[in-house]
Structure 1
Amino acid sequence: MDPHDRYTQNNFWQSSQAANAALTGCYAVLRYSGVYGGAATPLWEETASPNAYNYSNSDGWNSIAEGLQSSTTGGIISSRWANCYEGIGRCNYFLANVDRVISIDEATRTRMKGEAYFLRALFYFLLENYWGDVPLILDPPDPSTQSNLPRTSRQQIIEQILKDLDSATLVLPLKYGSSDLGRATKGAAMALKARVLLFEASPLFNTNNDKNKWKLAADAAKAVIDISSSAGYGLYPDYRSLFLPENENNKEVIFDVQFIYPQEGNSFDLICGQYNSNAPLLDLVLSYEMKNGLPITDPSSGYRPDSPYLNRDPRLYATIVYPGEVWVSGSNKVTVTSSWFPITGYAMQKLSVYNSATKPPVKASDIKDGQSYINYIVIRYADVLLMYAEAQNEFIGPDPSVYDAVNQIRARVGMPNVAPGLTQDSMRQVIRHERRIEFAGEGLYYNDIRRWKIAELVMNSPIYTWKHTLIETRRFNPNRDYWWPIPQTQLDLNHNLVQNPGY
């Protein structure tokens, strides 16, 4: 006889509310203590790239930036593996049992399965991206059969990811009502497929330089662009406001992780401001073009070393807090000094409530851990445009559609169009620059430099403060560091796992 004071396998799957709770549990792995929140925040992922510095080695990110990671580093290396498999286990459990609930109409049940397929694909994408071959598990958690599984080839994992995303695309809706914001949509599944295929076409994964892989990626991104009108996608008109809480769930958001305080918050404001543990680096600041579209190294750009932040790409002002910036709140004005953010002299403004246009800096005592609530955008429409531009350029060269996609991104912030007549390689550099600037602070650049296989070129270098003072010299071993080590805790539990080379 089943107990009446707790749920069991036999008495749980009896209502639509229970099924929805189980699916919510799959999404929950994305949040505070999971993949995109808390210690695993994507804001710190930026610090493993030339964009930012994690002075406190929060979650082990600075160990990765210095090339010092190992199987015992812990932090993100152990938590991401565990979080992803936790999410996969929940998705598998849901998919294996949701048919037992007889009170759900078939359309709803089918849609919910689509959401679980999408989430399982996302978790597996993260796993194969950082570790390569990983165990493929499609059944509900069962230690007796799953605790000693060997690693499955990464290609098989990719095939399953694409299968799950195609299944999700067939059944998910284009839009939800306001009560279901944050659920995976058809566009989210299609956009994630485009990202997966873009990675597969990139040099790190596409070792044979198969041009057709670029075509597949371009076609997948173009498919999202083609449904943008009916799905309501587009570029949000104001770049800075795109990342403020009052504008969440806007038309640029294709899939995000929903946070709400006090039920489920994050610590983005602490990380960006008070902790300053994703402190922007001088190299990122110098990479922003002048407002006229010329790099600061061009003698005719108008760049002035004595006024280094004057007339720059507006995305600089929307992303980074810099010394000398004036913050305004009503009749009050305050000038930012480097002592506010002593780590590098800069702070990340994006993905925080720090906003020079509307309020002064938040006092250290005002926001506590877990009290921030801005959603983290996993995929936005600007990314789709640049994914298309990159893939199409690699497949066929800089045709008009490539220019159009890149110029849409630049026009949003008032930057001039890309110069016509570029070669494929010149356009490649333009697109890579645009990705770095457009997504600065969002945690994408680390994986970009990995998949482009340029990490050893941009990471084996010193990093500096705003005053050009040396912080440290980073190291990246191309024979090892493109992949993460399998956590020692997992090797101890499963003796059939084989460690990645060099660890």
Structure 2
Amino acid sequence: MQKIFLAAGTTLLLIATGCNKSLLETTPNDRYQESTYWNTPDAAAAGLVGCYSVLRNDGLYGGKGSNNATALWDETLSPNAWNYSNSHSFDAVAMGQHNASTGGIVTGRWGDSYGGIGRCNTFLAKIDEVPGMEAADITRMKGEAYFLRALYYFTLATYYGDAPLILTPPDEKKDSDLPRTPRKDVIAQVLSDLESAISGLPPKATEPGRASKGAALALKARVLLYEASPLMNNGVNDPAKWKAAADAAKAVITDANVFGYKLYRDYRAMFLPQNENNSEVIFDVQYIFPLQGNSFDLICRQYNTNAPLQDLVDAYLMKNGLPRTAPGSGYDPAKQWTNRDPRMHATLTFPGDKYMGKVVANNRFSFTGYGMKKFSIYDTAAPPKAVESLVGGQSETNFIVLRYADILLMYAEAQNEAAGPDATVYTALDSIRSRAGMPLITPGLTQAQMRDVIRLERRIELAGEGLYYNDIRRWKTAETVMNTDIYNYKRERQATRSFDPKRDYWWPIPTGERDLNPNLEQNPFY
């Protein structure tokens, strides 16, 4: 595992605070001083690492603190999984019980996004002043900061809609009473930042975990895909927007060899620590024990707060490519986990399966009966004793934010909406299905039929990666699939979820933020 820049950046931060040139030095050496910090290339490098480090905050992808797995818990906002203990208020959102005072992820995602934006703004304002910097390094480092600022602002726009647009270093007096900027203007800035990143970044990352030109193009594709979707267009289909999204994804596919991207050979192995930074990974959040660990393994094997639901299991096709309810599928209710899409076995564990060297008992994973394997080291084999005894905060599997299979799926969706299911749509989907060991897509589908195929393929291929919640929001299907009972493996009802289409497509602005700034207008019905 290569996690060089994370560890190096931590060392640089220590150096920046610990150096003392003279016993008579009067500048405090136990804290940062804005006036003296940006004086060396090492300080600039550490400042950029600080822009990345916010990604691991609890409001974004998590990892700071025991028993935290925010990146995994995003899955529990959807019909795929359940956070039964309401960790970080994820279950409150999934149950439709959240409000502006809920706290947890609703508050944390807003605050941590702005924390990252503030660091990026400061870096971009200061980097040109740093003595001794090479021009090429400044260009590249600015590109990374633009990418990160775009990612943070896209997060705000995705969950909250309108949000104050701030492009200068934090200034309490100037920023404290800003109103929310219209979402379309925030997205325009996101796309502008991504263009700056694309022009300044090398095709491949200089170190694992850093942004690259390929990553900026991939994030641009995701942004444009979301902007073309029904939620952002009041249900109106705009082929021009879909074409823009398809073109953005195609730009990544066309230069995939230049960027070094291709589907990794093994779907399950792609998410194991020994295969991090593989050919499919476009951008990920880096973890390294003991500096910055996460609790992914602990959450997956023990707490089950990322408990897969029967609804997800039922969605997996049979290995012959047919839905389980289709005539001739071969589905046997008494053997419901047999002869299914191999990605189910690579993603989940279930009663009777072998997990951590033992047969899974019916009560091994309480509440739903299912456990999540993805982003965990645990599988069929018994783990070594040293690994088995891991406690919270000791895991270091990276979380993949963007990967090449998602780009292929983005292209297939956007191209189908823009022009119908042409040969390129089939090619993109069939490459993913072939890697999974599944039959190719049936030829001759209509646009509507292909839409259903693509949406299911996204759900299955990306299960456990926290993307399905935003998919059902942008498709405006959440009001259907989230207003339902949720079931365990015995098909016993566990709880009832509620989704109010008048308000729940957007999250509320946290009460604490509006107490500080009354000019922040609240989203409707909160």
TM-score range, shorter chain: over 0.9
The aligned counterpart of 1:13 is 38
* SS of the residue 1:205 aligns to: helix
Q: In structure 1, which of residues 328, 352, 355 is the aligned counterpart of residue 379 of structure 2?
A: 355
Spell out, residue by residue over 1:359-379, the C-alpha distance to the aligned partner (whole angstroms, 9 max, x if none). Answer: 359899712111111000000
* SS of the residue 1:199 aligns to: helix
The aligned counterpart of 1:152 is 181
* SS of the residue 2:109 aligns to: helix
Spell out, residue by residue over 1:297-344, the C-alpha distance to the aligned partner (whole angstroms, 9 max, x if none). Answer: 01201111111111110000000001111247xxxx521112110120
1:94-243 → structure 2 map (5 Å cutoff): 94-177=123-206, 180-207=207-234, 208-243=236-271
* SS of the residue 1:378 aligns to: strand
The aligned counterpart of 2:476 is 453
The aligned counterpart of 1:501 is 524
Query: In 2, Cα distance between the equivalents of 1:293 and 1:98?
Result: 54
Matched, 1:434 2:463: no
Query: In 1, Cα distance between the equivalents of 2:406 and 2:351?
Result: 30
Alpha carbons of structure 1 residues 443 and 430: separation in structure 2 relative to 1, 3 Å: same
Spell out, residue by residue over 1:419-465, the C-alpha distance to the aligned partner (whole angstroms, 9 max, x if none). Answer: 00000000000000000000111100000000000001100000000
Query: In 1, Cα distance between the equivalents of 2:519 and 2:128?
Result: 34
Give 1:211 shift: 1.4
Matched, 1:375 2:402: no
* SS of the residue 1:292 aligns to: coil
Give 1:354 shift: 1.2
**What's the TM-score, normalizing by structure 1?**
0.96
Query: In 2, Cα distance between the equivalents of 1:26 and 1:97?
Result: 13
- Give the counterpart letter for 2:349 in structure 1: V
Q: In structure 1, which of residues 412, 415, 418 is the aligned counterpart of residue 438 of structure 2?
A: 415
The aligned counterpart of 1:70 is 99
Query: In 2, Cα distance between the equivalents of 1:210 and 1:55?
Result: 39
The aligned counterpart of 2:489 is 466
Query: In 2, Cα distance between the equivalents of 1:34 and 1:361?
Result: 32
Spell out, residue by residue over 1:160-191, the C-alpha distance to the aligned partner (whole angstroms, 9 max, x if none). Answer: 000000000001011235xx211000000000
Give 1:7 shift: 3.4
Alpha carbons of structure 1 residues 48 and 363: separation in structure 2 relative to 1, 3 Å: farther
1:265-284 → structure 2 map (5 Å cutoff): 265-284=293-312
1:279-318 → structure 2 map (5 Å cutoff): 279-318=307-346
Q: In structure 1, which of residues 477, 491, 502 is the aligned counterpart of residue 514 of structure 2?
A: 491
The aligned counterpart of 2:17 is none
Do 1:338 and 1:346's aligned partners in 2 also have CA atoms closer than 8 Å? no
Point out where structure 1 has 5 or more consecutive residues left out of the alignment: none
**What's the TM-score, normalizing by structure 2?**
0.92
Deviates more, 1:36-45 or 1:67-76: 36-45
Query: In 1, Cα distance between the equivalents of 2:160 and 2:473?
Result: 12
- Give the counterpart letter for 1:242 in structure 2: M
Do 1:354 and 1:362's aligned partners in 2 also have CA atoms closer than 8 Å? no
Alpha carbons of structure 1 residues 86 and 488: separation in structure 2 relative to 1, 3 Å: same
Query: In 2, Cα distance between the equivalents of 1:149 and 1:291?
Result: 54
Give 1:48 shift: 1.0
Do 1:53 and 1:279's aligned partners in 2 also have CA atoms closer than 8 Å? yes
Alpha carbons of structure 1 residues 363 and 320: separation in structure 2 relative to 1, 3 Å: farther
Matched, 1:334 2:361: no
Alpha carbons of structure 1 residues 428 and 258: separation in structure 2 relative to 1, 3 Å: same
Do 2:59 and 2:111's aligned partners in 1 also have CA atoms closer than 8 Å? no
Q: Percent same amino acid at aligned positions?
A: 59
- Give the counterpart letter for 1:492 in structure 2: D
Matched, 1:82 2:105: no
* SS of the residue 1:463 aligns to: strand
The aligned counterpart of 2:50 is 25
Give 1:4 shift: 5.1
Q: In structure 1, which of residues 217, 241, 248 is the aligned counterpart of residue 276 of structure 2?
A: 248
The aligned counterpart of 1:45 is 74
- Could you say what the CA RMSD is over the residues aligned between the two structures, in angstroms? 1.5
Alpha carbons of structure 1 residues 392 and 151: separation in structure 2 relative to 1, 3 Å: same
Do 1:40 and 1:59's aligned partners in 2 also have CA atoms closer than 8 Å? no
Alpha carbons of structure 1 residues 363 and 502: separation in structure 2 relative to 1, 3 Å: farther
The aligned counterpart of 1:479 is 502
